[in-house]
Amino acid sequence: MRAERARPLRRSATLALTAAFLAPVALLLVWSFAGRWPWPAPLPSRWRASAWIDLAGTGGLGAAALRSLGIATTVAFAATGLGFVTCRSAAEARSRDVLRLLLHLPFALSPVVLGVGLEYSFLRAGLAGRTAGVVLAQGMLAYAYALILLSGLWNARTRAYLEGAATLGAAPRQGWVLVLLPIARPLLVLCFVQTFLISWFDYALVLLIGGGRVVTLTTSLYQFLLSGDLRLAAASALLLLLPPLVALAAHRHLRPTAFAADPGF
């Protein structure tokens, strides 16, 4: 009975949510095509597609998007891979409380504090102002996240699966490849998506470590906004929304397992 009554309410809530998300996106779309939009016109007085044509041209938006994509993909691969290999040690470490604090610190500290702190050592190491430096700084953040997420894999059930495989004759390596990897796959995909987004969303570390010489989508967006070019800023914003939305659409088909529901830290 309750469920019956709740259904239309739930549907309207879903609708409201989707609208709350779509309205800003629609506004960004309008802005990205706005040729002239002086105050107080309720809609642009002229329309142009120049922002989107610029994507393929020399204006730098396309290059920034590609660089962002490259950096985020590298960070996600490295953090997820390394996280998978080391997450058991994190999950079973004797100093779990201290380790948990350490892994959360990069998130608890402001990204600016982190970036300002890292900048000087990166400068000394010749990494500041370079894409590699940005990858490394974001990678540290993403790796901490990967460990928090993936150590949830090491619950009693996973251990029992591995033990079961061992008594059936699986050597440790076989257990990892034939049992752990398939069981962990949904969580690994989730980890990859999330670490990709950590890098993709980042502005502070690109700004501070990249020092203006590494141009990504987030830094271009801010530069366009500063220079008053709202059309290009809106186009950058829409590009920034694209991969997370694709990931989200794909993620619906990944059945979340019980493992994903219990992070280890």
- CB of 58 vs another protein, minimal distance in Å: 23
Strands (E) across the chain are located at 34-36, 46-47
- CB of 237 vs another protein, minimal distance in Å: 4
- CB of 65 vs another protein, minimal distance in Å: 13
Residue number with CB closer to another protein (132 or 183): 183
Residue number with CB closer to another protein (59 or 106): 106
How many Cβ atoms sit within 10 Å of the Cβ of residue 2? Answer: 6
Residue number with CB closer to another protein (76 or 103): 103
Establish how many alpha carbons lie within 13 A of residue 199's alpha carbon, considering only the half-sphere containing its beta carbon. Answer: 35
- CB of 260 vs another protein, minimal distance in Å: 9
Q: CB neighbours of 47 closer than 8 A, spacing ≥ 6?
A: 33, 34, 35
Cis ω for the linkage preceding 40 (within 30 of 0):
yes
User: For residues 240 and 230, what is the distance between their CA atoms, to the nearest angstrom?
Assistant: 15
219-224's contacts with Cβ under 8 Å and 24+ in sequence apart are 219/64, 220/60, 220/61, 220/64
Residue with tokens 């059309």: 231
CA 113, 114, 119: angle at the middle one, nearest 5?
Answer: 100
- CB of 41 vs another protein, minimal distance in Å: 7
Residue number with CB closer to another protein (63 or 225): 225
3-class secondary structure per residue, 218-237: HHHHHHHHHCCCHHHHHHHH
- CB of 201 vs another protein, minimal distance in Å: 4
Residue number with CB closer to another protein (4 or 58): 4
Residue number with CB closer to another protein (58 or 108): 108
